[in-house]
Copies of this chain bind each other. A is one copy, B any other.
Amino acid sequence: MDGERLRRQIAFIVEIDKLKGILRRTRVTVGGRRENDAEHSWHLALMAMLLAEYVEGAGVDVLRSVEMVLVHDLVEIYAGDTYCYDEEAAAGKVERETKAADRIFVLLPPDQAREMRTLWDEFEQGETPEARFANALDRLQPLLQNYHTGGRSWREHGVKSERVFERTRPVAESAPALWEYARDLIADAVEKGFLG
C-alpha cells in the first residue's frame, strides 16, 4: 500500500470539508438559512440522476454530469461564492477561481488532480452535453430554492425578473422541457409578488 498516496487523498477529503462553510445567497426551504455549497452540490447531483431524460439530443453520460456538479464549486473554498447578480464581483471571478483551482486540486495525487481539474475545466467551458446539463441544473436549482422560499433572496437583493429570465435561459440549450418549466415558474413568481 502506498501510504503517501492515501495520505494525500485524505488530506484533500478533509480540506474540502470547508465547502460546507461557503454560503450562497439562496435559502433552504426549512428554517430559511442560507444554503452552503456542499448541500447545493448534493442537490444538483440528485437532480442530475432524476432529470437526465430531458437532455436534448443523444443524451448524456449521467455519471460525468454527477461528478461535475459534485466538484464544480470546490474552487469557492478559496475564491468565495460570487453572487450571480453582482456585476462588480463577476469581473474578477474567472481569475479568482482559476487561481483557486491551481491550489486545490494539486493536494491530490497527480493522476487524480488532473482528473478533477479536467472535470472542473469541462464544467466551466460548458461545451460538452454533460457540462451543459450540469450548468443547466446549476441555473435551475436556485430558481427552485428562491421560488419555494417566497423569493426572499431575490427581494433582499432587488433582483428583477428579466435578470432571472436571462440567468436561467441557458437551460434551454440543454433541456428545453426544463426551460419551459422554469419560464412558467418565473412568470408565476412575478404574479405571486416574489419577484419584481
Contact = CB atoms under 8 A, between A and B. Distances in A.
A47 B13 contact: yes
Q: Could you say which of A6, A36, A50 has the most chain B C-beta atoms within 10 Å of its C-beta?
A: A50
Contacts of A29: 14, 17-18
Contacts of A16: 43, 46
Interface stretch (A63-71, A122-130, A156-164): A63-71
Given A43-B38, A46-B71, A70-B42, A148 B17 contact: yes
Contacts of A17: 28-30, 43, 145, 148
10 contacts: A13-B47, A16-B43, A17-B30, A19-B39, A20-B28, A21-B30, A38-B43, A41-B42, A42-B70, A45-B45
B50 A108 contact: yes
A49 B63 CA distance: 10
A9 B177 contact: no
B70 A45 contact: yes
A189 B45 CA distance: 33
Contacts of A178: 6
Contacts of A50: 9, 12-13, 108, 112
Contact of A180 (B1, B10, B49): B1
B181 A10 contact: yes
Q: Could you say which of A46, A51, A177 has the most chain B C-beta atoms within 10 Å of its C-beta?
A: A46
A21 B13 contact: no
A180 B3 CA distance: 10
A177 B144 CA distance: 42
A46 B36 CA distance: 16
Nearest to A36: B39
